[in-house]
Structure 1
Amino acid sequence: MPLTPEGWTLLKTWEGCRLSAYPDPASGGAPWTIGYGHTGAEVVPGLTISQEQAEAWLKQDATDAAGAVVRLLSGVGLTARQRDALISFCFNVGVGALERSTLRKRLMAGESAAVVIAEELPRWDKGPYGPVEGLKRRRAAEVSHLRMPEATSPQHQTKTAAQVRSDKPIQLQDAVRHHKGLAHQQEAWLQLERSLTEEQRDAFAELFRATASPSVEPSNQEAPGLIQLPVPYLSQNDSATSQGSRMCFSSCCAMAVAYLKPGAMNGPGQLDDQYLAKVQRHGDTTDASAQVATLLSLGLQARFRTDGCIDHLIEQLQRGMPCPVGWLHKGPVSAPTGGGHWSLVIGWDPAKRQFLMHDPNGEVDLVNGGYVSTTIGSGHAQRYSERNWGRRWMVEGTGTGWWIQIDQGT
Structure 2
Amino acid sequence: MPLTPEGWTLLKTWEGCRLSAYPDPASGAAPWTIGYGHTGAEVVPGLTITQEQAEAWLKQDVAEAAAAVDRLLISVTLTPRQRDALISFCFNVGAGALERSTLRKRLLAGESSADVIAEELPRWNKGPKSPLEGLKRRRAAEVSHAQTSEAAAPQTQTARSASVPSHEPIQLLDAVHHHKGLAHQQEAWLQLERSLTAEQRGAFAEMFRTPASPSNATSQPELPGLIELPVPYLSQNDSATSQGPRMCFSSSCAMAAAFVKPDALRGPGQLDDQYLALVQRHSDTTDANAQVKALQSLGLQARFRTDGSSEDLIEQLKRGLPCPVGWLHKGPVSAPKGGGHWSLAIGWDPAKRQFLMHDPNGEADLVNGGYVTTSIGSGAGQRYSERNWGRRWMVEGAGSGWWIEISPGA
Smaller-chain TM-score range?
0.3 to 0.5
TM-score normalised to structure 2 length: 0.47
Larger radius of gyration: 1
TM-score normalised to structure 1 length: 0.47
